[in-house]
Structure formats: structure tokens, C-alpha cells
């Protein structure tokens, strides 16, 4: 599971993978968590961050999917 996350973050088109240089450590879970926390900390220090447009809708009817 965390191997898929690591490979998706390391993609050259991805912001975190291309700028923070996330090291692929899919063999040890502890190293993976440390590298992810380091990448997120480095991302917070970047002067230019991508903007994500999020729109939330609140319906009274619960949905399953």
C-alpha cells in the first residue's frame, strides 16, 4: 500500500516528488514515514505552492459513495 503512495509522490510530474526529492523507501515502513514527514516539512518551506480548488457541498441526504 505505501509503495503505491511512494511511487505516486516520486512521479516527475508531481510537485512533491519533483521538488522535494522524496527518496523511495518502500522496504522499511519507518523510513517511509520519516521521508514523508521530511518532504512535508520541506514543502512547507517552499515559497511557491500549488493551489487546490476545493468546493464543498453539504447535503441533508446521506450518500454511500
Query: Domain for residue 38, yes or no?
Result: yes
Rounded Cα distance between 32 and 40, Å, is 12
Domain limits at 7? 2-45
Number of domains in the chain: 1
Chain CA centroid to CA 41, Å = 12
Please provide the DSSP assignment of 9-55 as one string.
Answer: HT-TTSHHHHHS------S-HHHHHHHHHHHHHHHHH-S--------
Query: Domain for residue 27, yes or no?
Result: yes
Rounded Cα distance between 12 and 18, Å, is 5
Query: Domain for residue 52, yes or no?
Result: no
Digit-coded pLDDT (tens) for 8-30: 555 555 555 555 555 554 556 66
Query: Domain for residue 65, yes or no?
Result: no
Query: Domain for residue 22, yes or no?
Result: yes
pLDDT at 54: 72
Query: Domain for residue 10, yes or no?
Result: yes
Digit-coded pLDDT (tens) for 45-57: 878 776 767 777 7
Q: 34 pLDDT band (50/70/90 cuts)? A: confident
Amino acid at each position: 500500500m505505501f509503495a503505491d503512495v511512494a511511487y505516486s509522490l516520486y512521479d516527475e510530474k508531481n510537485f512533491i516528488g519533483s521538488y522535494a526529492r522524496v527518496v523511495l523507501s518502500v522496504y522499511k515502513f519507518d523510513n517511509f514515514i520519516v521521508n514523508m514527514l521530511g518532504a512535508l516539512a520541506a514543502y512547507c518551506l517552499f515559497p511557491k505552492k500549488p493551489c487546490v480548488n476545493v468546493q464543498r457541498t453539504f447535503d441533508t441526504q446521506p450518500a454511500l459513495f
